[in-house]
Amino acid sequence: MLTPEDGSADLIRALNNRLIALSFHIREYYWVDMKKLNEIYRYKTEEYSFDAVNKFNIYPDQIPPWLVEWMPPKGGYYIGNLQPAHMDFRFFSLGNLWSIVCSLATTHQSHAILDLIESKWSDLVAEMPLKICYPALENMEWKIITGSDPKNTPWSYHNGGSWPTLLWQLTVACIKMNRPEIVAKAIEVAEKRISTDKWPEYYDTKRARLIGKQSRLYQTWSIAGFLVAKLLIEKPDAARILWNDEDAEILNALSTNRKRGKKVLKKTYIV
């Protein structure tokens, strides 16, 4: 939204520096695949130096048992959250799809996210696309994190429910990465029931077999998400206006910093 001119030059420079740092941080520390999982499993703890590998002091015991079995050999994703000594390893569909659409994810990572969705189809798509997150919080975790919220019981609503409106965002991500066959299959799954079910807001259970217990019917975003997905598959060129390509300046900066081995950003001052 900024017009490049003398008065905005310092601000644009500062924003680009910030974006470079943010992109590096997300791509480096929030990404997990089988290779990274094995790296975390072998982390040394209590490292406190600029050269520390385990910069957030993550304890290997934090890796949940479900993830070790669930992570496919080919594929990866951005985790839910990262803070000192704690990682939320859940898969969140919305954030991962938009990381592809807006080019926060690298080309390799974007394909890996779609590989994961393909590999874990029975968990993330099943009988109605698409799981908002995986897995659901259960037992004590559900009680503590959701405050025993009855609407967010396991595999319902925001706690592992399936939301048809996510279909159009999956469509844009797949078209961008030239993998329309993935979303075509998801549309075919949705088409079998979504109209008969009266366009509900969300679905419940692990495989999305039931209409959500508090799901509203004839939801505009469910209808629109499905229709947009159908139209974009028919005319994929129309999706071009919905995504961002990799920023050349950020890409060059990240490439240069990797070659140098250490990230150093020039300080800028805004007067």
Distance CA 21, CA 136 (A): 32
- Residues 90-100 pLDDT 10s: 999 999 999 99
pLDDT the model gives residue 260: 55
Instruction: Tell how many helices (H) and how many strands (E) occur in the chain.
Output: 11, 6
Answer whether residue 157 shows pLDDT above 70.
Answer: yes
**Sorting pLDDT into bands at 50, 70 and 90, what band is 269?**
very low
Mean per-residue pLDDT, 207-217: 96
What confidence score (pLDDT) does residue 264 get? 47
Q: Is 90 helix (H, G, I), strand (E, B) or coil?
A: strand
Residue 218 is encoded by which pair of tokens? 């004839």
Give the range among 31-35, 45-49, 109-113 with minimum mean pLDDT: 45-49
**What average pLDDT does the structure give for the chain?**
90
Look up residue 136 and give its two tokens. 């659901």
Under a CB-based contact definition with an 8 Å cutoff, are residues 130 and 163 in contact? yes
User: Does 271 score more than 50 pLDDT?
Assistant: no
- Residue 4 has what pLDDT? 82
d(CA 179, CA 25): 27
- pLDDT confidence of residue 261: 53
pLDDT-derived band at 36 (thresholds 50, 70, 90) equals very high
Amino acid present at 174: C
Q: Does the structure show a pLDDT above 80 at 257?
A: no
- Decide if pLDDT at 236 tops 90: yes
Asked whether residue 135 carries a pLDDT value surpassing 70, the answer given is yes
In the chain, what percentage of residues exceed pLDDT 70? 93
Predicted pLDDT of residue 128: 97
Average pLDDT, integer, range 51-78: 89
Average pLDDT (253-265) is 59
